[in-house]
Structure 1
Amino acid sequence: MADRIARRLMLAVAATLVVGGARAGESYGIGREATPQEIAGWDIDVSPNGAGLPPGRGDVRQGEAIFAAKCAACHGAHGEGKPTDRLVGGIGTLRDKKPVKTVGSFWPYATTLFDYVRRAMPLNAPQSLTPDEVYAVSAYVLFLNGIVPQDTTFDADNLAKINMPNRNGFVSAYPPPEAVAKP
């Protein structure tokens, strides 16, 4: 036991000396440079202004079917929550003693819904939804919150134009294009 601990400690010290002793520009000869395709696979962020939204489209009707198949088990049949987070309701409750923070009441941008669903949902298979499916689920969740009508179809041109109820409830690192720089 003591020998194993001593060996691990010596390896850790040796690794620290090797890494710590590197000079700028030196290469250890391990790994390889990522290809542009590999980088593109991880470059999937979407900004509040819509930059980074992929091609595709989806509507509320399609979103309802996808939600039933891939989201309702965790979020409830209509986004009411249980066993996990509630997605619907709570509009106008943020100043209450017990605010109900949902997509409809709390999130400032519709694009953040798209970005989150695209990256992290469904929980058992993150990043498995196609862009069309993510647009559709986003449309359905916003419809359930009363933010868009039932005939809504989202794509990269119109998703960022949705005015969320709590849009002005945050200070953004991404000022809108019409914002004027202040000294």
Structure 2
Amino acid sequence: MSWLNATALGCAAAALLATDVAAAEFGRPATRDEIALWNIDVRPDGTGLPPGSGTAARGQQVFEENCVACHGERGQGGIADRLTGGQGTLASDHPVKTVGSYWPYATSLFDYVRRAMPYPAPQTLSDDDYYAVVAYILNLNEIVASDTVLDRARLPAIKMPNRNGFWPDPEFKLIRNSRQP
């Protein structure tokens, strides 16, 4: 058998196997508990925030144990994104996009940190520790006082410096509204 014929035969066998695999209906519906593990999004208005609370003092400890290796002391100078500074630079030739200069919602910061950090073991901290780290990062950016306690009621109320720096794309608004009944 030539190489070309063997290759064609192999491809045909793979296609038949793929069809059989698809028809076998692997898997099962996810349970409510399994869905809850992945359904952790937090919206700008605070919908989805978990119970818990944290302070900047506790957040500093958690940050030093889990974040400083990548983000540097006080959120600057590490190998990962800078978290502090940059206020007033967005309209300049060299904008510095940080939590304090760019992010429009404190709840989005919580959502991202809880979903993706600490690297490489996301979602391994307690909700209290995530609130604390967010409090510490916001405090480093002079957005909240060092004695502020963050929780599901207080976090959505924080007005970020760039809160009004984003606006909807008119085309997106037209598309979105055209789909609504």
TM-score after normalising by structure 2: 0.84
Note if 1:150 corresponds to 2:146: yes
Aligned pairs (5 A) from 1:123-138: 123-138=119-134
| Partner SS state of residue 169, structure 1 | coil
Rounded to whole Å, the distance in 2 between the matches of 1:140 and 1:79 is 10
Aligned to 1:10: 12
| Partner SS state of residue 58, structure 1 | strand
1:40 to 24, 31, 36: 36
Rounded to whole Å, the distance in 2 between the matches of 1:42 and 1:126 is 12
Aligned to 1:69: 65
Note if 1:100 corresponds to 2:96: yes
Rounded to whole Å, the distance in 2 between the matches of 1:127 and 1:8 is 43
Contact 1:139 1:154 in 2 (8 A): yes
Aligned pairs (5 A) from 1:102-181: 102-171=98-167
| Partner SS state of residue 154, structure 1 | strand
Q: Which runs of 5+ in 2 are unaligned?
A: 170-176
Rounded to whole Å, the distance in 2 between the matches of 1:8 and 1:51 is 52
Structure 1: which 4+ aligned runs deviate by more than 2 Å?
1-8, 11-19
Q: Does 7-16 or 49-58 show the bigger shift?
A: 7-16
Distance of aligned partners of 1:125 and 1:17 in 2 relative to their CA distance in 1, 3 Å threshold: closer
- Measured after TM superposition, the shift of residue 28 of structure 1 is 3.7
- Measured after TM superposition, the shift of residue 159 of structure 1 is 0.2
Contact 1:81 1:87 in 2 (8 A): no
- Measured after TM superposition, the shift of residue 124 of structure 1 is 1.6
- Measured after TM superposition, the shift of residue 9 of structure 1 is 1.4
- Name the % identity: 53
**Paired amino acid for 1:170:** F
Aligned to 2:172: none
Aligned to 2:75: 79
**Paired amino acid for 1:10:** A
Rounded to whole Å, the distance in 2 between the matches of 1:11 and 1:118 is 45
**Paired amino acid for 2:29:** E
Rounded to whole Å, the distance in 2 between the matches of 1:167 and 1:4 is 62
Q: Deviations over 1:127-171 (max 9, x none)?
A: 111110100000000000000001011000110100000001112
Instruction: Work out the number of aligned pairs and report it.
Output: 168
RMSD: 2.4
